[in-house]
């Protein structure tokens, strides 16, 4: 069995090589957020006040959608405490940054910081982990979904990325609601209601047609960009018994200008090693990971990662394999036989039937 190490084990071995400033907040990241806000607001005002041709409105929607995504990446960084340290200011700025994607700061920190990061790729405790075939055998609904032919499921799975972040946020609100203390629930509730109140208020002010260009289409674009990264973060990696970022996380390669616009969000393995470090220093962390553990580190171009996601199923079998239950096609995961350039599979017959009989 492969030996796993916790993120703290890796971090302790890299930290001595890093400069002291790497462990301090970087407030200058807020200038990027200010630029996004200025472009976003001016674009929405332009759509609202002028009767432009639908083509111009569509182009502005794309610009706004990119701003939605960029602010989401900044909000992620802010709520990890890597931009400002004061809790009230962190939540205020993080809430503003996440407002376009309609996610509240308290919910995000509970769901993402306190749960996903602590239990990454744990089959039961990580709220973002994909299900196992064991869970499929216990759910009639999932078994019905997986009767749909794989190419159709893959198509709709990618189509759903355009709304998945916002939908999953609502699911996480319901999932974690009872875990919030009574005193915190009011804040969590209003942090959910406020963004939607603002966007619905905009609808009442400018009408349905302009609202579609000013909010709905940008929300779909922003979701698609954010989920394009999130879907590659862990979904080709195995489920693991130990929270080992080099085993359970993937860094994707994008053009440098994209990394600038997206606050180095592509460096996901680095983020799981040092979640409280500004992503400004993740390229440096990456250098040391590749020097110390080149055989354990996973990275690939984002386009290749997305193609691999399209061609492989999203259901785990024995933690280290991905299985398509209809045909019994089994693929490896990263570090466990998955070859991105040759996505071959094995065949295991009657796996689901045996699970159903055992439940």
Backbone angles phi, psi at 251, to 5 degrees: -95, 130
Classify 108 in phi/psi space as left (phi over 0), alpha (psi -120 to 50) or beta.
alpha
Alpha helices, DSSP H only, in 207-299?
208-211, 217-234, 245-248, 256-261, 268-273, 282-292
List Cα–Cα distances, 46 to 41, 43, 183, 357, in angstroms: 9, 5, 41, 61
Domain extent, residue 63, equals: 7-299
Is 206 contained in some domain? yes
The string of DSSP letters for 72-141 reads HHHHHHHTTTSS---HHHHHHHHHHHHGGGT--HHHHIIIIIIIITTSTT-TTT-TTPPPBHHHHHH-HH
Determine, yes or no, domain membership for 28. yes
Tokens for 343, please give them: 């996505």
Q: What is the pLDDT along the chain (359 residues), one digit of tens a residue?
A: 468 999 999 999 999 999 999 999 999 999 999 999 999 999 999 999 999 999 999 999 999 999 999 999 999 999 999 999 999 999 999 999 999 999 999 999 999 999 999 999 999 999 999 999 888 888 888 888 888 899 999 999 999 999 999 999 999 999 999 999 988 999 999 999 999 999 999 999 999 999 999 999 999 999 999 999 999 999 999 999 999 999 999 999 999 999 999 999 999 999 999 999 999 999 999 999 999 999 999 999 999 999 999 999 999 988 999 999 888 899 999 999 999 988 888 887 766 566 555 55
Reference 336, options 314, 354, 321, 323; nearest CA is 321
Domain count, the chain: 1
- 227 inside domain: yes
Do the domain assignments include residue 357?
no
Residue 132 maps to a domain = yes
Integer Cα distance of 331 and 312 in angstroms = 7
The answer as to whether 250 is a domain residue is yes
Return d(Cα 158, Cα 161) in angstroms, integer. Answer: 5
Alpha-carbon Rg for the chain, nearest whole angstrom, is: 21
Is residue 208 domain-resident? yes
Tokens standing for 93?
């700025």
- The answer to whether residue 310 sits within a structural domain is no
Residue 1: predicted pLDDT: 42
């Amino acid at each position: 069995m492969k030996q796993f190490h916790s993120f703290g084990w890796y971090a302790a071995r890299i930290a001595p090589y890093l400069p002291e400033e790497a462990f301090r907040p970087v407030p200058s990241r807020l200038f990027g957020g200010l630029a996004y806000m200025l472009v976003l607001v001016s674009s929405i005002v332009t759509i609202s006040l002028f009767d432009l041709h639908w083509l111009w409105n569509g182009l502005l929607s794309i610009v706004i959608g990119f701003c939605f995504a960029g602010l989401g990446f900044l909000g992620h960084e802010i709520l990890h405490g890597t931009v400002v340290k004061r809790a009230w200011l962190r939540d205020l700025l993080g809430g503003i940054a996440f407002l376009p994607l309609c996610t509240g700061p308290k919910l995000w920190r509970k769901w993402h910081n306190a749960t996903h990061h602590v239990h990454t790729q744990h089959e039961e405790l990580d709220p973002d982990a994909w299900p196992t075939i064991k869970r499929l055998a216990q759910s009639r609904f999932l078994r019905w979904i997986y009767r749909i032919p794989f190419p159709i499921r893959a198509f709709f799975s990618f189509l759903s990325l355009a709304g998945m972040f916002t939908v999953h946020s609502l699911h996480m609100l319901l999932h974690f609601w009872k875990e919030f203390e009574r005193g915190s629930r009011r804040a969590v509730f209003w942090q959910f209601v406020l963004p939607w109140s603002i966007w619905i208020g905009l609808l009442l002010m400018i009408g349905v047609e302009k609202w579609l260009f000013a909010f709905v289409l940008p929300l779909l674009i922003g979701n698609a960009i954010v989920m394009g990264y999130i879907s590659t973060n862990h979904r080709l990696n195995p489920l693991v018994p130990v929270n080992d970022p080099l085993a359970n996380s993937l860094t994707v390669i994008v053009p440098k200008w994209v990394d600038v616009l997206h606050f180095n969000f592509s460096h996901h393995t680095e983020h799981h090693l040092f979640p409280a470090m500004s992503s400004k220093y993740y390229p440096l962390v990456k250098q040391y990971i590749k020097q110390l553990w080149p055989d354990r580190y996973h990275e690939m171009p984002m386009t290749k990662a997305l193609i691999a996601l399209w061609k492989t199923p999203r259901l785990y079998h024995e933690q280290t394999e991905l299985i398509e239950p209809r045909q019994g096609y089994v693929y490896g995961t990263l570090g466990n036989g998955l070859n991105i350039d040759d996505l071959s599979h094995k065949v295991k017959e009657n796996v689901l039937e045996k699970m159903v009989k055992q439940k």
